Homo-oligomer: A and B are copies of this chain.
Amino acid sequence: MIKVLVVDDDQDLRDNLVEVLSDNGFSPSSAENGEDALEKLQADKFDLVLLDSVMPGMDGMETLPLIKRAYPKTRIIMLTAFSTVNSAVEAMRSGADDYITKPFKIDELLVAVRRCLEEAKFGVCEELLNSDDMFKCLANATRRKVLMLLYRESKLRFMDMTRQLKIDDHTKVNFHLKILKEAHLIEQDGRKNYQLSPQGKKIVTCMSSIAAD
């Protein structure tokens, strides 16, 4: 289900958009200003934010770069009543994916929303193609076992790892660790302890949603 966050101070518009989005198969939530929006974004993942630029409290232009920095993969469409070329350009430069002027027809918005998400699909595809090292790395059972160990134990020395893996040839373990390091799935701290990298953590947690039920 595609989650959309509607951020606007006008409750009527908000409720209206939520209803329309819901009717069109999206899962919408709403927020009435920037602070509220950031809170909602922290609590939940959204695919798309519809962001009003003028609001009391933290306004849209202020919120936009904050959202983009914290959640780079979330798409943002700016909605604005007082539109100038400059403000539009500025919004796009700050990371908005599209820009719509009020008043707008609901269909116009839906077209933009769909196009925006379609482009996001493209992004996913790029990533699928460009993370070759990562996938090659995950293709080996020993290496996955290493990830699993580090997920459970969080930190391990080289020799402790080989013992836990029950592999008697330690140079073999070393070979795999090297590949894992090169794919940035694990890293070493100052004391040569191996641990999952942020990337590595993401992957392991992701497995739970991928693997068969």
Which residues of A are interface residues toward B (Cβ below 8 A)? 27, 43-44, 72-73, 120-125, 127-132, 134-136, 138-141, 144-145, 147-148, 151-152, 199, 202-213
Contact = CB atoms under 8 A, between A and B. Distances in A.
Nearest to A208: B124
Given A125-B148, A152-B121, A208 B141 contact: no
* A contact face: mostly helix, strand, loop, or mixed: helix
Nearest to A145: B129
Nearest to A125: B148
Contact of A129 (B43, B148, B212): B148
A139 B131 CA distance: 10
A129 B141 contact: yes
A207 B128 contact: yes
